[in-house]
Amino acid sequence: NAGVTQTPKFRVLKTGQSMTLLCAQDMNHEYMYWYRQDPGMGLRLIHYSVGEGTTAKGEVPDGYNVSRLKKQNFLLGLESAAPSQTSVYFCASSYQLGGAIYEQYFGPGTRLTVT
């Protein structure tokens, strides 16, 4: 049982290049999320999905797009990378555990540097 996996683990991009980060989960979770983590800022939600074929904006969506074509996969795209997008990106998935309590499971992260 792999849980949540992310590819790639590391990437260096030049300004203006594009790339896609892939997140996959094998726990049959309905909800999936993309976060970025920067020093002193904590984790901030970029986009999320409540089910296959649906996506929604989080706290810091600008410069990113997402797709959830299959329940187990959640893709994060950067169309034109900027140095401000240098960060560690975490994907997470979750399920409903009675009422409003949700535990999120995180992938190992992708370290992205934009030069």
Partner 1 sequence: RKEVEQDPGPFNVPEGATVAFNCTYSNSASQSFFWYRQDCRKEPKLLMSVYSSGNEDGRFTAQLNRASQYISLLIRDSKLSDSATYLCVVNMRNAGGTSYGKLTFGQGTILTVHP
Note the residues at the interface with partner 1 (CB under 8 A): 31, 33, 40-45, 48, 50, 56, 58, 90, 94, 96, 99-104, 106-109
CB of 31 to partner 1, least distance (A): 5
54 CA to centre of own chain: 14
Asked if omega into 8 is within 30° of 0 (cis), the reply is yes
Encoded tokens for 78: 């950067």
Nearer residue to partner 1 within complex by CB, 58 or 63: 58
Sequence-separated (6 or more) residues with CB below 8 Å from residue 18: 77, 78, 79, 80, 81
CB of 84 to partner 1, least distance (A): 18
Nearer residue to partner 1 within complex by CB, 73 or 104: 104
Nearer residue to partner 1 within complex by CB, 53 or 102: 102
CB of 80 to partner 1, least distance (A): 27
